Amino acid sequence: MTPDLIDARCFEALQANAGADFVLTLIDAFAEEAPALLADLRSAAAQGDAERFETAAHTLKSNSITFGASRLAEMARVLEWQGPSSDAVSVDALQALETQLMATLAALRALARA
């Protein structure tokens, strides 16, 4: 497991309850949806659209929690709470989120296929 990216107990419980094949389907769906969520965050931040920004951040947070991706969920939660008008919502913050997301997706795929 990758404890810095995925909570092993949470991921194992998800697999036990939903089945390994379904979890892989969920991971694939998350990976497909994630680029649109990141694009929404960037666009909403640039336009100051708080509702769209918070919805995208909330969705990313919720999806992350489902898989036990605590660090990614926390990053999304902070953005959701701060909203698009905060000085903290910078290109760097969104890039860090994207980097964490890509690492998390790779870890999830590896775990699901193990």
CATH class of 8-113: mainly alpha
Cα(38)–Cα(21) distance, rounded to whole angstroms?
26
| Prediction pTM value | 0.87
pLDDT tens track for 18-60: 999 999 999 999 999 999 999 999 999 888 899 999 999 999 9
Instruction: Spell out the domain ranges in the chain.
Output: 8-113
In terms of phi and psi (left: phi > 0; alpha: psi -120 to 50; beta: otherwise), the region of 70 is alpha
Report pLDDT for 92: 80
Neighbouring CB atoms inside 10 A of 59's CB total 19
Cα(41)–Cα(44) distance, rounded to whole angstroms?
5
